[in-house]
Amino acid sequence: MLRVLFITQDDPFYIPHFFREFVRIFHDGEIAVLGAVIQAPLGKKSFAALVRQMFDFYGPVDFLRVGGKYAGFKVLNALAVKVFHGRFPGVFSLEHFMLKENWKIIRIRDMNSAESLQRLDEMKVDLLVSVAASQKLKPELLARPRLGCINIHNSKLPKNRGMLPNFWSLFRCDTEPVSAMTVHRMNATLDDGPIVLQKEFPLDPKETLDELIIRTKRMNAHVVLEAMQLFKRGEPPLLPNDAAQATYNTFPTKEDVRRFRAKGLRLI
């Protein structure tokens, strides 16, 4: 029996698509999903800094559209979780969805803490699976599960490491019309560990970034499940993730977004 724990972040828009699809396709009696650690989405940013970053990214019109949707989700999620304890139509947060599906939600603020390491030991975690985890995991934690930790990244690693890879893949789709989803072993350097699985997919410039993220999150569920099934049989063969061939991206600036839109591409 492979004992798996997910680590992810509290994103109401995209990550629930991954877990909804995963629950739909998961029917493996030899894999035990122990639950999920849901972390805050801010990482090290303050709320004010995050709002400023999102305003610069989306611009005033799209920011108001996204912000209004976010505020609505927050209100409905408070009803869904606090009042109805998950028994409420729709999905307004990852916590809401997991309550509906009776998944165990593990509350750990700092995954690198001594408390977290003790919890992993107590749960006898074989494999830790990161789905957009918001915290950088340190070597002691990465070595704790019996089979280590894996991450899903939406690019053809070693290319397009770093922040918001779907944005950069769509930005470059006129010259690189195919991207990929990569499951890789995690090490102390982000997006650097050896590759477990890599699946290519075509890009479509008519698709918005919002649509692309949702599409890849659903596809990610299939690739992660396939990777888990490889680990079920022990250590899978790994492919190199050559740092010498790597390209890196930061979070898009206002100028990056202006050039993105100048190509006729859309965020939402």
Per-residue pLDDT of the chain (268 residues; tens, 9 = 90+): 999 999 999 999 999 999 999 999 999 999 999 999 999 886 656 788 888 999 999 999 999 999 999 999 999 999 999 999 899 999 999 999 999 999 999 988 899 999 999 999 999 999 999 999 999 999 999 999 999 999 999 999 999 999 999 999 999 999 999 999 999 999 999 999 999 999 999 999 999 999 999 999 999 999 999 999 999 988 899 999 999 999 999 999 999 999 999 999 999 9
C-alpha 134/C-alpha 74 separation (Å) is 20
- Paired tokens of 107: 């509350």
DSSP string, 93-154: SHHHHHHHTTPPEE--S-TTSHHHHHHHHHHT-SEEEEES-SSPPPHHHHTSSTT-EEEEES
C-alpha 135/C-alpha 112 separation (Å) is 9
CB 206 within 8 A of CB 174: no
C-alpha 155/C-alpha 165 separation (Å) is 6
How many other C-beta atoms are found inside a 10 Å radius of the C-beta of residue 5? 23
* CA pseudo-torsion sign 52, 54, 59, 64: negative
Pairing of the two strands 2-9 and 195-202: unpaired
The DSSP code for 244 is: G
Domain range 2-262, CATH architecture:
3-Layer(aba) Sandwich (3.40)
Query: Is omega for the bond preceding 158 within 30 degrees of 0, making it cis?
Result: yes
Pairing of the two strands 178-185 and 149-153: antiparallel
